[in-house]
Amino acid sequence: MNEIQRERYNRHIILSEIGEEGQKKLLDAKVLVVGAGGLGAPILQYLVAAGIGNIGIVDADTVSLSNLQRQILYRENEVGKSKAKQAKATLNQLNSDVKISYYPFMLDDDNADEIISKYDIVVGATDNFKSRKCIDKITKAQNKAFVHGSIGEFEGQIAVFNYKNGPSYFDLFPDTPNESNLPLGVIGVLPGIIGSMQACEVIKIILEIGEVLSGKLLVYDALTHDTNIIQFSN
């Protein structure tokens, strides 16, 4: 680690739980973020700022005007452009230590195995249930952690699946819901709260500190700030 890095990551390094060795672990880590929207935006910004050395971004969508209410990576002049490409361009300006790759297409059964094999941890920031099931299947097969988050209206959920052979997404959600019945609205700040929590779980997993939300579903209510943890098993 050079002197510029010591200055950049000083607030990490002075923490006894992290130090230089911990920061080196972050710089050596490889994290794939599936979804660069409401959840993905804060996840990506905090992971890049933290110095996660290699980050992949998967998102097939383009920026729309309605995204700007909560997807804080993007600007009005980027409407219509690829989210994955624009996210990479913006994040490159935040931290030159980080190598960022982007995949401007859906993660599916045809490409997931190859893409996920390049990374240590996968963060699910997608509202697509097929993608979630795909991530769950491949991370379980490859023995990699899947840091899941979801949001709707005023509620958010976070859990870590397939961590050290722990429970999977399918163990908690065996049935695929009818997407036509799911809420479309969301308060704009909620993805920032939940996405930041997901980024924290990633950092904890890399550093092997704290208690990881494996076998636990954290449910957050933005209207009351109540937080409940539901335990489950495989």
Instruction: Kindly indicate the confidence band of residue 30, based on its pLDDT and cuts at 50, 70 and 90.
Output: very high
Q: Where are the domains of the chain?
A: 3-231
pLDDT score for 144: 98
In sequence order, the β-bridge partners of residue 186 are 153
Cα→Cα distances 142→112, 122, 136, Å = 11, 11, 10
Query: Among 138, 135, 126, 137, which Cα is nearest to 61's?
Result: 126
| Tens of pLDDT, residues 198-229 | 999 999 999 999 999 999 999 999 999 999 99
Between 60 and 128, the higher pLDDT residue: 60
Region 85-112: mean pLDDT is 97
Q: Print burial letters for 123-138: b (CB count within 10 Å at least 16), e (below 16).
A: bbbbbbbebbbbbbbb
Give yes or no for a contact between 85 and 102, defined as CB atoms under 8 angstroms apart: yes
Give yes or no for a contact between 194 and 158, defined as CB atoms under 8 angstroms apart: yes
Token pair, residue 206, equals 């890399």
- Running DSSP on this structure, what letter comes out for residue 65? G
Do β-strands 121-124 and 145-152 pair in parallel, antiparallel, or remain unpaired? Answer: parallel
Report the alpha-carbon angle 2-8-9, nearest 5.
Answer: 90
| Tens of pLDDT, residues 12-25 | 999 999 999 999 99
pLDDT of 183 over the 80 cut: no
pLDDT score for 186: 95
Instruction: Kindly indicate the confidence band of residue 122, based on its pLDDT and cuts at 50, 70 and 90.
Output: very high
Average pLDDT score over the chain: 96
Residues of the chain with pLDDT > 70, as a percent, come to: 97
Give yes or no for a contact between 119 and 54, defined as CB atoms under 8 angstroms apart: yes
In sequence order, the β-bridge partners of residue 103 are 58
Instruction: Kindly indicate the confidence band of residue 175, based on its pLDDT and cuts at 50, 70 and 90.
Output: confident
CATH 3.30.300.30 fits 3-231, yes or no: no
pLDDT of 85 over the 90 cut: yes
Long-range contacts of 105-112 (CB under 8 A, 24+ apart): 105/58, 105/60, 106/58, 106/60, 106/131, 107/34, 107/58, 107/131, 107/134, 107/135, 108/134, 109/134, 112/137, 112/138
Residue 15: count other Cβ atoms within 10 Å of its Cβ. Answer: 13
Secondary structure (3-state) at 19 = helix
pTM given for the model? 0.96
Which of 92-96, 110-114, 128-132, 155-159 shows the lowest mean pLDDT across its residues?
Answer: 128-132
Region 142-157: mean pLDDT is 97
Region 109-135: mean pLDDT is 95
Instruction: Identify residue 127 by its one-letter amino acid code.
Output: D
The helix (run of H) or strand (run of E) holding residue 27 is: helix 19-28
Phi then psi for residue 216, to 5 deg, are -135, 135
